[in-house]
């Protein structure tokens, strides 16, 4: 093929200077390496397996899940293994000195005692003191709160009360105060973040516009949307046209911004696991009725095993920006994030100028398929016109 342009000698110095000028011109080219990539790493089962295989160069933060609550205090439920896990995670900083390690308190199974712990000034003070003591003792970088949920039911048996709405805010105020006090003593900056239910009921039972002034990031749990009797996406970016009236990430972002949260504090959630169900006999797929729930799997198993089984086909919902699997013979349905949907979420995060992404949980994709997709997308250079 002939060159359509006249051939001229290339001035190497001029070319370098021109490229440097392009990079420095505002609005022309912008790298996205400032986005956070937060991994929830589970220690609630005991010792974390294969810690040395965590790809920390592609992460900015690790949230250790979870620290429990006992007698209104942050409590290491499995202190022997928690202690080992903390040391192992901190050691990862040898590979990535900018990595931040936080404790995440609560979670779905251990949120039942938050309400009591936040009921008075005295109990909130004691809770904050105990949480700050843990990160001080193990040389960690901050605290993440995963209260599921303030002022509304979460797991069966959880205590919740109307006062949680205000006490949720006061909890962060006290935590921030004590973290700032620790910072004055150690001259180290400490982070305060929270994982939140990414749906209207969470926003309506909290004061997120007040909470945001105390926290660095708000991690939107934009997954597990599939509870109900219909086969829907559990982690869709947008609303699907195949069904109506269900949650999605885009709506969640709008809800929190409307509540007074700056969009640059919001972190998009990505699911490293899939939800599964068996549909009714006459079902054709997405939006149809569920007969029974089935076992879900992490993405590595979905990609390497499930998709290699006969009859398990991937379907793409272009409106929701979400893929799903349906086997018309066995009637098994899977909803999950894959490389394609992850790239769409990262693109959304960058376009909205959100803080970045987080995911639950690292162990569900040990081969790193989705983390690789995040890394490639989030560090991709974007070209913008002035």
Q: What is the CA radius of gyration of the chain?
A: 23
CA-CA distances (angstroms) from residue 89 to 39, 219, 378?
12, 21, 23
Show which residues are catalytic: 148
Specify the pLDDT at position 297. Answer: 98
Contact 232, 157 (CB under 8 A): no
Give the global pTM. Answer: 0.91
| Neighbour count for residue 34 (Cβ, 10 Å) | 10
Residues 6+ apart with CB under 8 A from 374: 37, 58, 270, 342, 346, 357, 359
**DSSP SS3 for 25:** coil
The CATH classification number of 19-272+337-383 equals 3.20.20.80
Mean pLDDT score, 90-110: 98
pLDDT tens string 178-237: 999 999 999 999 999 999 999 999 999 999 999 999 999 999 999 999 988 999 999 999
Peptide bond into 217 cis (omega under 30): no
Mean pLDDT (whole number) for 123-129? 98
Torsion of CA 24, 27, 30, 36, to 10 degrees: 120
What does the pLDDT look like over 273-297, one tens digit per residue? 999 999 999 999 999 999 999 999 9
The pLDDT tens digits of the residues spanning 34-76 come to 999 999 999 999 999 999 999 999 999 999 999 999 999 999 9
- The pLDDT, as a whole number, for residue 380 is 82
Q: Which residues contact 266 (CB under 8 A, 6 or more apart)?
A: 217, 218, 220, 253, 256, 257, 354, 355
- Cross-strand bridge partners of residue 382: 30
Q: How far apart are CA 10 and CA 274, in angstroms?
A: 52
Beta-carbon contacts of 167 under 8 Å, excluding residues fewer than 6 positions away, are: 115, 118, 119, 124, 150
The whole-number pLDDT of residue 35 equals: 98
Instruction: Determine what percent of the chain is predicted with pLDDT higher than 70.
Output: 90
Q: Domain coordinates of the chain in residue numbers? A: 19-272+337-383
Q: Is the pLDDT of residue 10 over 80?
A: no
């Amino acid at each position: 093929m002939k060159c359509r342009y006249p051939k001229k000698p290339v001035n190497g110095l001029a070319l370098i200077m021109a490229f440097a000028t392009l990079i420095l011109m505002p609005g022309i080219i912008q790298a996205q390496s400032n986005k956070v990539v937060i991994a929830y790493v589970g220690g609630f089962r005991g010792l974390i397996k294969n810690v040395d295989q965590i790809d920390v160069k592609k992460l900015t933060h690790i949230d250790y899940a979870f620290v429990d609550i006992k007698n209104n205090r942050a409590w290491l439920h499995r202190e022997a293994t928690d202690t080992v896990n903390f040391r192992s995670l901190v050691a990862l900083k040898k590979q990535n000195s900018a990595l931040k390690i936080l404790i995440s308190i609560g979670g779905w199974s251990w949120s039942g005692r938050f309400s009591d712990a936040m009921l008075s000034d005295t109990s909130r003070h004691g809770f904050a003191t105990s949480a700050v003591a843990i990160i001080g003792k193990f040389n960690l970088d901050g605290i993440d709160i995963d209260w599921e949920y303030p002022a509304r039911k979460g797991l069966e048996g959880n205590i919740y009360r109307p006062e949680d709405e205000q006490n949720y805010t006061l909890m962060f105020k006290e935590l921030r105060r004590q973290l700032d006090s620790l910072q004055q003593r150690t001259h180290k900056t400490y982070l305060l973040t929270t994982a939140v239910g990414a749906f209207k009921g969470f926003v309506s039972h909290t004061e997120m516009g007040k909470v945001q002034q105390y926290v660095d990031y708000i991690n939107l749990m934009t997954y597990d949307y599939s509870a109900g009797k219909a086969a829907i996406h559990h982690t869709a970016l947008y609303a699907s046209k195949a069904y109506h009236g269900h949650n999605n990430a885009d709506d969640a972002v709008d809800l929190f911004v409307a509540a007074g949260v700056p969009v640059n504090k919001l972190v998009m959630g990505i699911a490293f696991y899939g939800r599964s169900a068996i549909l009714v006999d006459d079902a054709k797929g997405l939006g149809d009725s569920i007969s029974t729930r089935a076992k879900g799997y992490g993405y590595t198993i979905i990609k390497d095993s499930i998709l290699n089984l006969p009859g398990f086909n991937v379907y793409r919902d272009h409106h929701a920006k979400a893929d799903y699997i349906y086997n018309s013979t066995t009637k098994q349905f899977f909803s999950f994030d894959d490389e394609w949907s992850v790239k769409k979420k990262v693109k959304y995060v960058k376009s909205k100028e959100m803080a970045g992404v987080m995911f639950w949980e690292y162990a569900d994709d040990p081969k790193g398929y989705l983390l690789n997709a995040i890394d490639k997308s989030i560090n991709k250079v974007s070209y913008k016109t002035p």
